[in-house]
Amino acid sequence: MIRAKFGDANTFLEMVAKHYRPVYRPQRLKFLDLKSVEGRLVQRVIVIGPEGEAVLPIYPMVRIGRRWRINGCFLVRSPGQKI
């Protein structure tokens, strides 16, 4: 779905850089365990962005054939929190 929406890698990366900057250029990150939410797997990651902001991207996962792919990204922000 994501590939169909953006067409090519450059267009996708431009969108990520513009709207998901902490994810695009993180200082640090830590992958948490997969979690089941309403019967679907999600990957959570603790990210410290380039300006020190802490965010929690949540990636819904979808299985395509034998591979797992992300199917979107939701950023949960911690307002005012710096690490």
pLDDT number for residue 83:
46
* Residue whose C-alpha is closest to residue 69's, from 35, 36, 43: 43
Task: Give the domains, in start order, of the chain with CATH numbers.
Answer: 2-82 (3.10.450)
Please state the pTM of the whole predicted model: 0.78
Q: pLDDT tens for residues 28-43?
A: 999 999 999 999 999 9
The pLDDT confidence band at residue 78, using thresholds 50, 70 and 90, is: low
Rounded-to-integer distance, Cα 51 and Cα 21, Å = 10
Q: What is the mean pLDDT of the chain?
A: 87
